[in-house]
Amino acid sequence: MTNIAIIGCGASGMMAALAATDNNAKVTIFEYRDEAALKILSTGNGRCNISNRKIEEDAYYCDDRALVKSFLKKFSPDDTLAYFEKLGLMFDYKEDLVYPASFQASTVRSLLLNELKRRNVTVRTGHIVDKITAARNGFIISSEKRQEVFDKVILACGSYAGIKKNKRLPGDIDGYSLAYHLGHTIKPVKPSLCGINCVEDYIKSAAGTRIFGKISAFRSDGVKASDSGEIQITDYGISGIPVFNISHIVSAADSTVNLVLDLYPDKKEAEIKDFALKRAKNYIGRTVNEYCLGMLNSGIYDMFLAIFKISGETKINEDNIEILAERISSLKNISLSSKGSRSFENAQCCLGGIPLDEIDENCMSRKNKGLYICGEMLDIDGICGGYNLQWAWTSGHIAGIGASINA
Ligand SMILES: Cc1cc2nc3c(=O)[nH]c(=O)nc-3n(C[C@H](O)[C@H](O)[C@H](O)COP(=O)(O)OP(=O)(O)OC[C@H]3O[C@@H](n4cnc5c(N)ncnc54)[C@H](O)[C@@H]3O)c2cc1C
């Protein structure tokens, strides 16, 4: 019976343990926090967007989409849902997004932990692994408490995303450090799926506004991305799912990224200008305050005045109608500049970590035979919508099978 140690009791580690026990392996999970699988509780705003019925490799930022495609074929979203269904989980759907029917992340966490217990998987919480050493026939796992030998090791330590700084392990003994000392490269780890800090002060005058819009990012190296949906304007910049979905390219950049916020994504600039001009002609003699009502979301009105340094009491006249109409239509192209992304604590996942070319098709390390790596520790991050948990389930399952089958 293969004796496997899994470092990290999160989504990918638990799936790896289940897959390995399906193959009759003996599994011990080491978790440094006092409770296992805490991150799952905050997923999907506490509802756990467990997967997505339309997962494709294009939804991931990574260096090897072909590998991701082959992984998603090996243990697909359908396989994942079937696996969870066998464990007794009922699903509900919001379009393609998959949730537990209870809409409670705690259901998913408890179901997985109960199943690990039922299969006699040992979960050692509050256990910090200081060092992993490759030995002749396996690996020595060292901690303050003891040294133990295992045939195989699966690293499933996740990333820093969503974790308060004081709850993270020190950098010299965290998961990335364990992998580094086993010969792996660690690409700079940065927050992803998070809000973006903006340079422009005027953004603050719209803080608290939620508005439908499109956000685009244009990096100086030509990389660009955009997404639309509900955008939140905050006192530091912008947030909301479309912003999260482009945050990777802002985070990955070493300098400021140019952003364009379009507050009328479904309208053409000329159409807006036409409307605004007609309206201005009818409002001659009245104030900008009155004129803007009906065209602008009230939450962004002060920001509009601040961007163009206009007073709301300005009277509309023949000389300013053209320029006012132009300014209204320019709300399709509000220029912003990023000042970095939010912190790890405010992020849902991370970019960087162990390069995908350092694992093989079974998630086995190319640096150490018998060592497997899965989940977010690897340099891959998906957009919002169940993609990151699906990666954790897929890579965890592949690692668990690989570790329990391969001699
Ligand atoms: C607020 C928030 C909401 C999210 N919502 C969604 C969502 O709805 N849908 C979605 O698809 N994704 C979501 N994600 C992302 C998703 O949760 C992660 O991508 C996924 O949990 C990664 O799984 P993992 O197993 O790699 O890491 P984790 O789930 O983070 O598990 C890693 C585990 O390893 C432990 N660990 C770390 N280092 C060590 C060590 N050295 N020794 C022992 N233990 C260690 C950690 O404590 C942790 O328990 C969300 C993330 C956050 C933060």
Distance 11 CA to ligand 1 centre (A): 6
Measured CA to CA, the distance from residue 15 to residue 333 in angstroms comes to 45
**Residue 406 above 80 pLDDT?**
no
- Mean pLDDT, range 31-59, rounded to an integer: 96
Same domain? 174 vs 92 = yes
pLDDT band at 36 (very low <50, low <70, confident <90, very high): very high
Contact status, residue 272 vs residue 332, Cβ threshold 8 Å: yes
The average confidence (pLDDT) of the chain is: 96
**pLDDT tens-digit readout, 66-90:** 999 999 999 999 999 999 999 999 9
Cβ-proximal residues to 255 (8 Å cutoff; 6+ apart), any chain:
220
pLDDT recorded at residue 361:
96
Same domain? 8 vs 146 = yes
- Mean pLDDT, range 184-201, rounded to an integer: 97
Measured CA to CA, the distance from residue 324 to residue 327 in angstroms comes to 5
CATH number of the domain that residue 371 is part of: 3.50.50.60
> Which residues form the pocket of ligand 1, taking CB atoms under 6 Å from any ligand atom?
7-13, 30-33, 37, 39, 42-44, 48-49, 129, 156-158, 161-162, 169, 174-175, 178, 348-349, 375-376, 386-389, 392
**pLDDT tens-digit readout, 391-400:** 999 999 999 9
Same domain? 163 vs 293 = no
Distance 293 CA to ligand 1 centre (A): 45
Question: Of all residues in the chain, what percent carry a pLDDT higher than 70?
Answer: 100
Same domain? 283 vs 377 = no
Q: Best substitution site from 363, 388, 394, 397 to test ligand 1's pocket, by max atoms within 8 Å of Cβ?
A: 388
pLDDT recorded at residue 221:
87
Lookup: tokens for 81:
């849902």
Same domain? 308 vs 395 = no
Instruction: Count the alpha carbons within 13 Å of 118 in the hemisphere toward its beta carbon.
Output: 9
**Residue 6 to residues 25, 136, 184, 187: CA-CA distances in angstroms?**
12, 19, 17, 22
Same domain? 335 vs 374 = no
Give exposure, 37-63, as e/b (b: 16+ Cβ within 10 Å): bbbbeebbeebbbbbbeebebebbbbe
> Residue 252: how many CB atoms within 10 A of its CB?
19
Question: Of all residues in the chain, what percent carry a pLDDT higher than 90?
Answer: 95
Same domain? 205 vs 330 = yes
**pLDDT tens-digit readout, 374-386:** 999 999 999 999 9
pLDDT recorded at residue 223:
85
Which atom of ligand 1 sits closest to the CA of residue 391?
Answer: 19
Q: Which among 120, 115, 91 has a CA at the least distance from the CA of 103?
A: 91
Contact status, residue 291 vs residue 311, Cβ threshold 8 Å: no
Same domain? 312 vs 362 = no
Distance 9 CA to ligand 1 centre (A): 9
> Atom 29, ligand 1: which residue's CA is nearest?
10
Q: Best substitution site from 43, 50, 373 to test ligand 1's pocket, by max atoms within 8 Å of Cβ?
A: 43
Measured CA to CA, the distance from residue 220 to residue 287 in angstroms comes to 41
Lookup: tokens for 219:
């990096």
> Atom 21, ligand 1: which residue's CA is nearest?
11
**Residue 407 above 80 pLDDT?**
no
How many domains are contained in the chain? 2
Contact status, residue 213 vs residue 221, Cβ threshold 8 Å: no
> Atom 30, ligand 1: which residue's CA is nearest?
158
Same domain? 169 vs 256 = no
| Residue 29 structural domain | 3-190+350-405
Domain boundary among 342, 358, 378: 342
How far is CA 102 from its chain centroid?
23
The three-point CA angle 18-20-22 to 5° equals 70
pLDDT band at 340 (very low <50, low <70, confident <90, very high): confident
How far is CA 226 from its chain centroid?
16
**Residue 293 to residues 276, 279, 281: CA-CA distances in angstroms?**
11, 11, 15
**Residue 300 above 90 pLDDT?**
yes
- Mean pLDDT, range 118-135, rounded to an integer: 96
Distance 273 CA to ligand 1 centre (A): 47
Same domain? 396 vs 291 = no
Distance 238 CA to ligand 1 centre (A): 24
Task: Output the 3-class SS for 326-384.
Answer: HHHHHHHCEEEEEEEECCHHHCCEEEEEECHHHECCCCEECCCCCEEECHHHECEEECC
Distance 3 CA to ligand 1 centre (A): 24
Task: Report if pTM > 0.85.
Answer: yes
Contact status, residue 375 vs residue 13, Cβ threshold 8 Å: yes
Same domain? 68 vs 177 = yes
Domain boundary among 342, 363, 392: 342
Same domain? 135 vs 252 = no
DSSP per-residue string spanning 153-200: EEE----STT--GGGSPPTTTSHHHHHHHTT---EEEEEESS-EEES-
Domain boundary among 324, 342, 360: 342
